[in-house]
Amino acid sequence: MSPHECRHLLGDLSEYLDGEASAELCAEIERHLADCEDCRVVIDTLRKTVLLYHDLPRPGLPAGARERLFKALDLPI
């Protein structure tokens, strides 16, 4: 990464990805991305990383844990 501008924008990439960056910042980032292959790769792989985690299943309690929990809390199952 070319040190200065890339580093300057690096801290704002999540805001940009989440659609929370100001129009001014978006324009600045997009201008930079047009000329910087490294930052394009970083933002594309960062976006993909976020998508991969959003797709992870959300497991419930493991087998038997619900019963143990209700018992420990003295609640009717």
Partner 1 sequence: MTAIDQEAALLERIRAGDKAACGECVELHSPGVYRLALRMMRNEAEAEDVVQETFLSAFKAIDAFEGRAGLSTWLYRIAYNAALMRLRRVQPLVVSVDEPLELEDGTEVPRELHDWCCLPERDFETAEARTELERAIHELPEKLRAVFVLRELEGLTTEQAAEALDLSADNVKTRLHRARLWLRERLSGYFAELARVREESAT
Question: With binding defined as CB under 8 A, does residue 34 bind partner 1?
Answer: no
Question: With binding defined as CB under 8 A, does residue 21 bind partner 1?
Answer: no
Helix (H, G, I), strand (E, B) or coil at 3: helix
CA distances, 2 to each of 5, 11, 45, 55 (Å):
7, 15, 18, 33
CB nearer to partner 1: pick between 4 and 23? 4
CB nearer to partner 1: pick between 23 and 72? 72
Q: Which of 10, 21, 25, 33 binds partner 1 (CB under 8 A)?
A: 10
Helix (H, G, I), strand (E, B) or coil at 47: helix
Residue 15 identity (one-letter amino acid): E
CB 39 → partner 1: shortest distance, Å?
A: 9
Residue 69 identity (one-letter amino acid): L
Question: With binding defined as CB under 8 A, does residue 27 bind partner 1?
Answer: no
